[in-house]
Structure 1
Amino acid sequence: MEDRVTLERRQNVALITINRPETLNALDMDTLAALDRAVGAAEADAEVRVLVLTGAGNRAFVAGGDIADLNARQGLAHYLELGERLHTVFRRIETLDKPTISAVNGWALGGGTELLLCTDIRIAADSARFGLPEVNLGLFPGAGGSQRLLRQVAPCKARELMFLGDRITAQDAERIGLINKVVPVAELMAEAFAMADAIAGKSPLVLKLLKRALVDGDEMPLRSALRHEQAMIGLVLDTADAHEGCSAFLDKRPAAFRGV
């Protein structure tokens, strides 16, 4: 059996591909375990500074969960098995110290939209479609979507998407702030790698501390988050990269960041 998730490193960028095109890259227990391993390997690789996630084939990013598997489960089994795995893997991606980019090449429904909600930046092909259609199956988003969507787009729009279960175009997803950018499908991966390479040129240590400030601060009251930011920027000013960046600016030369 082919690897359900593949990992490829292109210089300082890791490309993680969910590789089940025959099922539109649907998520099941084995695929989630493979995704967790790939993310862990990229996380542990000091040369990797940015992760790009996409789906195999030209039809889907991730079309959702495995409906037959869901139908075979009762509540407690779902909670303790698939639900636990989904939340653990998605939270790992969300809180990763390295920036993440979704390259959405097709359908991103249910678990597909919930996965991209865990990534930092989302670029979509103009043919991509998004949605949380679980309500049409007598369910509701259970891989973090009901909470993350409400926090990332206008609450009234989040409720509309979840209550109706409709699919929306890439253009509409960009308009409501669900994704960053829409490009022609032929340009998707080039655009994703161009952005990833640009981010990878920054200090990896500063990106790590910035990502922590963003993730932690998002879950704090504003007063506490500002204190946290103050402490984190103090740590940054102790790095060699911060002083290299300032010196390079004053010397009118490119900075040579070393991650220290």
Structure 2
Amino acid sequence: MADPVILSETKGAVAVLTFNRPAALNAIDAATLKAFESAFVAAETDPAVRVIVITGAGEKAFVAGGDIGDLESRQGLPHYIEFGEELHRVFNRVEACDKPTIAAVNGFALGGGTELLLCTDMRLVADTARLGLPEINLGLFPGAGGTQRLIREIAPCRAREMMFTGSQITAQEAVELGLCNRVVPKAELMAEAMKLAERCASKSPLILKLLKRTLRQGAQMPLPQALAHEHAMIGLVLDAADAHEGCRAFLEKRPANFTGR
């Protein structure tokens, strides 16, 4: 039996999802996308899971984009209706997930790999990794959210340069551009990702959920409406038992016991 294209493991309150096609540099084809969606939904809906880490198997790649042979075989309308629509739906779900998501970028994150990274909340990148949107070199352009998400995350002129030239950037450049949180020695990447995940998992899952929604929804609003939205959401927070548990724990000088209520 062939190895699964997505490995799923739960460590305490942290789910680790690993793209497992190292011979293909963990490229995404239709079957891999379907398996990833299934694993992601299982982690997202598991009440015991509080944080989701996404990484790649092998020494070379996080996700090195779409499967080029698969793409070359497609025509426009079937691609739009089938794979393209599925790809956007799955990546949108990652972006909208109420649980914190962390990309542990262990190698090449090109094309769809960078586009997936853009859907996550936090990104740790190995010192050997390289990122980029090289689709223009194939006579294509990013089609899994890259054209829209990248230009909203970094200076538009830098986003255009990356997409127009198809050039790759180093891990340090990715941090300097604001695409990633920090560079980590490759041997320490997963340990650092788990450390970050466990810090987030120790917080209230309910408050993290409301915070993520406030950030995501407010980003689509003009500032006055976004501030009013924040005002309303913090009112909801003060109805949560976890908010009062956190305040009591602070006053009593003890660790808080957050239950998600």
TM-score (norm 2): 0.98
Give the corresponding residue for 2:11: 10
Give the corresponding residue for 2:222: 221
Distance 1:36 1:169 in 2: 28
State yes or no: 1:111 paired with 2:112. Answer: yes
Give the corresponding residue for 1:241: 242
Which amino acid in 2 is paired with 1:205? L
Give the corresponding residue for 2:192: 191
State yes or no: 1:203 paired with 2:211. Answer: no
Runs of 4+ in structure 1 displaced over 4 angstroms?
Answer: none
Percentage identity across aligned positions? 65
State yes or no: 1:160 paired with 2:161. Answer: yes
Residue 32 (structure 1) shift: 0.4
Which amino acid in 2 is paired with 1:108? A
Which amino acid in 2 is paired with 1:163? F
- Aligned pair count reads 260
Residues 59-94 of structure 1: per-residue CA shift (max 9 Å, x gap): 100000011111111111111111111100000000
The two structures, once aligned, show a CA RMSD in angstroms of 0.7
Residues 5-60 of structure 1: per-residue CA shift (max 9 Å, x gap): 11110000000001111100000111000010011000111010000000011110
Distance 1:225 1:6 in 2: 38
3-state DSSP of counterpart to 1:102: strand
Residues 191-244 of structure 1: per-residue CA shift (max 9 Å, x gap): 000000000000010011111111111122222211211111111000010011
Distance 1:58 1:223 in 2: 47
Q: Higher mean Cα deviation, 247-256 or 55-64?
A: 247-256
Residue 128 (structure 1) shift: 0.2
Which amino acid in 2 is paired with 1:43? E
Q: Which runs of 5+ in 1 are unaligned?
A: none
Distance 2:213 2:4 in 1: 31
Distance 1:113 1:87 in 2: 14
Give the corresponding residue for 1:94: 95
TM-score (norm 1): 0.99
Residue 247 (structure 1) shift: 1.1
Give the corresponding residue for 1:120: 121
Residue 2 (structure 1) shift: 1.4
